[in-house]
Chain A
Amino acid sequence: MHMADALLSPAVGTAFWAGTIGTIAYCTRKLKNTMDEKLVPLMGVLGAFIFAVQMINFTIPGTGSSGHLGGGLILAVILGPYAAFIVMASVLTIQAFFFADGGLLALGCNIWNLGIYPCFIAYPLIYKPLVKAGSSPKRITLAALISAVVGLQLGAFSVVIQTLLSGQSDLPFRTFGLMMQPLHLAIGLVEGFATAGVINFVRVSRPEILESVASEHPLPANISIRNIVIGLLVAAVLSGGILSWFASVNPDGLEWSIEKVIGKPEFPEKENVMAPVARSIQKKTAFLPDYNFRKSEGVSEGPMPGQASMPRPVADPGRSVSGILGSVMVLAAVLVAGLAIRAARKK
């Protein structure tokens, strides 16, 4: 499930972009040290393989609906976590640009949700310890199932958290979670079965590929559980701290930060002769005039969860009329501009 721009706030979007770019930089540094150049075309072609695979859909047993392979886990098994993460990030980037899956701001979240968890949690902490060189196909299937389910559960949970922190949706945490987690349990099971099927097939027909990839690029060997746990803790504390700070100070991060920079006077002004003048100047030059109906007549009852003090729009017929009139005019102006340019260029 791809996160979408429209559901994100700038603070959440940029925070996850920062985390994603940090991980990309970390992976490329790791790869630079250990990588042989043979991996360059292999990674590129495997990324395209993930795209192509999504075109071959299958029937999910018992439901009749169809599914396809997501790809994060199988990439990690073949390439190791660092290269797999880079490939996954590139696949999602192309999806964001060409299929408009989610959008560019949400891309950071999407790479995080679908790349970090399979590559840096599910694969090294679950799949790797369970599967040894001579493991039976059943064991591989079991390991792939658990890893895929865990990876997708974490990803789905992140979507819930990102949506709630952004505060554009009214869905309460429980409902949203109860909707997303079981859905992704099913998706995870399918992903696990499909991944295991492909790995087992390759192991039977061309076992040397999996072995040679694993031994030629022994990337997972130098990834220690301790480092991962510490890294995740640091990331969690940092992002949690920064995000909750943003979220609690003001739901509208940008407005708040602009106000902070420009310094809209917060202190009570002394009531003297100059006060009305100053107030009218302030009104004229107000940095963020409260233009629409929101904030006009105080806050209504009952703060919503996660949405503590968002003022709600309140009716004002006079302003509504002028608002609708203005909206029509703006849209008409935009449309006319577009048509005029088009007509002028045709000549």
Chain B
Amino acid sequence: MFDAEYFNLGYLDTLSYQNTVIHRLDPRAKLIATLAFILTVVSFPKYEITGLLPFFLFPVLLISFGDIPVRFILKKVLLVSSFAVFIGIFNPLLDRQISISFLGISISGGWISFLSIMLKFFLTISSALLLIATTSFPGICHALQKIGMPEIFVSQLLFLYRYIFVLLEEAMKIVRARDMRSFGRKGHDIKTVTRLIGTLFLRTMERAERVYQAMLSRGFSGSLHTVKPYSFRAVDAVFLFTTIVLLYLFRTRDIVGTLGRLSMRALG
């Protein structure tokens, strides 16, 4: 199981180093646009469904302009759907009052609010994943610092990200060694595992010491510097402005209803 998760982490990282229109945008513009998108989606009331549909344009555009594999994003979103589904599924059980009947099918308010939660879930999670898939994590850290996050926190994020891969490798080795020496459920008890974790902890402390010495010998004096310069160009401003205008229109206009009425009229 963790092989898959580990692979995904690396894969997302690889995706973020492509060179497309979306990838070239300034991280700040993408970060702010994504946050605005999430806030707008979440601001819809509980029973909203139709108003959420036009918002699928945002992830679809990012996926197609950014050359991101659709299946990968879909799989990842489904993989993490646990908590929202777990809590949301109580709505149809608790709220059984019929609110819409259409062509003989009656739908309770609970199912509508559940569907609304699922739509919001899909939109918010996929946009967060797409942000990381189209912007490298160091890029996002850079954006956070420019927006005003404290430097200590930003360098902590960069450090953590750098060493996740190293330590996951180490944990994988430990788990593999345990599994080869133990049969069945042996070696999985809490006593053995705390010792394994303790060992990993001691190795981690030693690694921190070595890292620190290596940094010192390279002239570390308390803060990290990024090499890749980002600049907020006109394209970024246009992207951000368009996104916000579209979000505003989608939030305030009834796109689905208008289209529906127009097509009804066209059909006679």
Contact = CB atoms under 8 A, between A and B. Distances in A.
A173 B208 CA distance: 45
B12 to A, nearest CB: 6
Instruction: Specify the main secondary structure of chain A where it touches its partner.
Output: helix
Contacts of A287: 252
Contact of A45 (B34, B38, B100, B207): B207
Given A7-B87, A86-B156, A25 B197 contact: no
Interface residues of A, number: 120
A37 interface: yes
A291 B257 contact: yes
B17 interface: no
Contacts of A300: 97
Contacts of B43: 9-10, 252-255
Contact of A53 (B100, B153, B197): B197
B194 A40 contact: no
A314 to B, nearest CB: 6
B146 interface: no
Contact of B150 (A9, A24, A52, A253): A24
A6 to B, nearest CB: 4
Interface stretch (A120-128, A223-231, A234-242, A334-342): A334-342
A59 interface: yes
Given A104-B34, A324-B260, A194 B197 contact: yes
B218 interface: no
Interface residues on B, range: 35 or more
B221 interface: yes
A48 B167 contact: yes
Interface in A170-187: 170-172, 175
A138 B220 CA distance: 42
Contacts of B207: 45
Interface stretch (A93-101, A150-158, A214-222, A275-283): A93-101
B260 A323 contact: yes
B191 interface: yes
A317 B103 CA distance: 8
Interface in A91-125: 91, 93-94, 96-105
A331 interface: yes
A89 B194 CA distance: 24
A37 B151 CA distance: 13
Interface core residue of B35, B159, B264 (most chain A CB under 10 Å): B159
A317 B220 contact: no
Contacts of B260: 321-327, 329
Contact of A41 (B67, B110, B172, B211): B211
Contacts of B140: 97
B95 A170 contact: yes
B113 A8 contact: no
Interface of B: 2, 5, 8-9, 12, 34-35, 38-51, 53-54, 56-57, 60-61, 63-65, 67, 76-77, 80, 83-84, 87-88, 90-91, 94-95, 97-102, 109-110, 112-113, 116-118, 120-121, 124-125, 128-129, 131-132, 137, 140, 149-153, 155-164, 166-168, 170-172, 174-175, 185, 188-198, 200-202, 204-205, 207-208, 211-212, 215, 220-222, 252-261, 263-264
28 contacts: A6-B42, A29-B150, A37-B222, A40-B222, A41-B212, A45-B207, A47-B164, A48-B163, A52-B170, A55-B172, A58-B188, A58-B189, A87-B156, A89-B153, A99-B5, A103-B125, A104-B38, A168-B46, A171-B90, A193-B190, A202-B198, A252-B44, A254-B43, A291-B257, A310-B46, A315-B98, A319-B257, A329-B259
Closest 3 CB pairs of A and B: A44-B159, A197-B194, A326-B260
